[in-house]
Amino acid sequence: MNEVLIDTNILVYAIDEDSEFYPKSQELLYNSDYGLFTTSKNLSEFLAVVTKGQVISLSIDEALAVSKDYDDILTIYPNETSFTIFRELLQKYKPTGLRVHDFEIISIGLAHRINQIATFNTGDFKGVAEINLITI
């Protein structure tokens, strides 16, 4: 089975019925042949986005309840190996600002031998040779 890391935007769009990306997100998360993974970083980003109140406005309790719907997606965590990879990627690509977070996500995936990332924001990961983007 192909293992794929699910980016935050897919988790958000999967609950935003008004989004044009909602059907594709639902399809990937609930009718996919991929082995799905996300990182603890993606889950914290998800909680931040959906409680911010710009597109979706949930209380933290509602957001935590929604995140339980993602229990079939295995969550992976940073470890010593991911931090080493993170530093190496930062030195190689020299990202700045919010893009640093994307490299943390990449490094956690790579530390767990997952090099495919599904996202709608391909620009966040463009040009990173260590990963393959899955566009849906």
pLDDT recorded at residue 118: 97
**Beta-carbon contacts of residue 97 (< 8 Å; ≥ 6 apart):** none
- Find the helix packing angle between 40-52 and 99-111, rounded to 10°: 140
pLDDT tens digits, one per residue of 17-26: 999 999 999 9
- Evaluate if residue 48 carries a pLDDT over 90: yes
pLDDT tens digits along 55-95: 789 999 999 999 988 888 999 999 999 999 999 999 999 99
Rounded to the nearest integer, the mean pLDDT of the chain is 94
Domains and CATH numbers, the chain: 3-134 (3.40.50.1010)
Write down the pLDDT at residue 43.
95
What pLDDT, on the 0 to 100 scale, is given for residue 55? Answer: 77
